[in-house]
Amino acid sequence: MLPEFLIRAGLAGLGLTLATGPLGAFVLWRRMAYFGDATAHASILGVALALATGLPVGLGTLTVALSVAVTVATLSARGWAVDTTLGVLAHGALAVGLVAISFVKGVNVSLESYLFGDILAVTWTEVALVWGGSASVLALLLWRWQGMLTATLDPDLARASGIDPDRERLWLTLALAVVIAVAIKLVGALLIAALLLIPAATARALSRGPEQMAALASGVGALSVIAGLALSLNQDTPAGPSIAALAAGLFALAASLRRQG
């Protein structure tokens, strides 16, 4: 019989991969890998704001993630280099967040749980929040799938078909912000991007179409969660990094199989 904390961790991780699979595929197709990483880093400022104001941590991280997205979109429209803007926002917000948390009085919080995650400590309420957030993101992606896909593959064709690429990018940004908000407690700000990108990259090496890649990415993510938790239980390794490490191992295996094929 598995311990209850492990069951909660497994359910939370599997719920998260429902959204990170297809969302990670879009992140790769749009070459938004650095955006996802930068938004995750900046979410630490959201943790600090939430602790200082007494708001839920998920709401704080969601607010900061959306603010980063709007700021990047505004500055890039004015001619700013996107990679430079993301770098400044990511590291600046991370640094300010870490400093700000040290000034919050009466709050006993481990920064490691938000940097590297603490999936083994999730509660049933948090499991429900993860599944709810992932379900909403998955529903959004299914609703906007064709428009997002067309805008990603050929923006000119999208405009000719009456699809606004900027609007589809905004929907994708919103979905990314929601996933980061629900994932930060599980895998931490430093590992969220890994769970988004590595399973999608693995699926790209094995799939032959966008739908297949999105579904396979969720499957690879789910396998990484199960194997990572098993490794953590048996070898007493950190759960979040173990999940990311197993995902990286699956990517290496998929890349090797593709070269042999």
Of 3, 14, 4, nearest in space to 243 by CA: 14
Task: Encode pLDDT of 29-76 as tens digits.
Answer: 888 777 777 788 888 888 888 888 888 877 888 888 888 877 876 776
Inside any domain, residue 119:
yes
Provide the whole-model pTM.
0.87
Better-predicted residue by pLDDT, 245 or 112: 245
Which has more confidence, 81 or 180? 180
Can you tell me whether residue 79 is helix, strand or coil?
A: coil
Sign of CA dihedral 232, 189, 84, 203: positive
Residue 260: per-residue pLDDT: 66
| 207 or 109, higher pLDDT | 207
**SS3 state at 67:** helix
Please give the tally of structural domains in the chain.
1
- For residue 162, is it within any domain? yes
Q: Which of 184, 59, 49, 64 is nearest to 104 (CA)?
A: 49
Domain of 44, in residue numbers: 4-186
Q: Nearest to residue 65, comparing CAs of 188, 196, 187, 175? A: 175
- DSSP state letter for 237: -
Task: Please write the tens of the pLDDT for every residue from 173-196.
Answer: 888 888 888 888 788 877 788 888
Whether pLDDT at 104 is above 70: yes
Q: Is residue 208 part of a domain?
A: no
What SS3 state is found at 5? helix
Q: In the structure encoding, which two tokens stand for residue 73, read together? A: 């979109």
The CATH number of residue 107's host domain is 1.10.3470.10
CA-to-CA distance for 47 and 158, rounded, in angstroms? 37
For residue 76, what pLDDT is reported?
67
- Let me know if residue 214 belongs to a domain: no
Q: Does 169 map to a domain?
A: yes
Q: How far apart are CA 224 and CA 203, in angstroms?
A: 13
pLDDT the model gives residue 71: 80
Domain presence at residue 209: no
Question: Which of the pair, 249 or 3, is modelled with greater confidence?
Answer: 249
Is the pLDDT at 110 greater than 80? The verdict is: no
195 within some domain: no
Write down the pLDDT at residue 31: 81
In a domain, 221, yes or no: no
Q: Is the pLDDT of residue 14 over 90?
A: yes
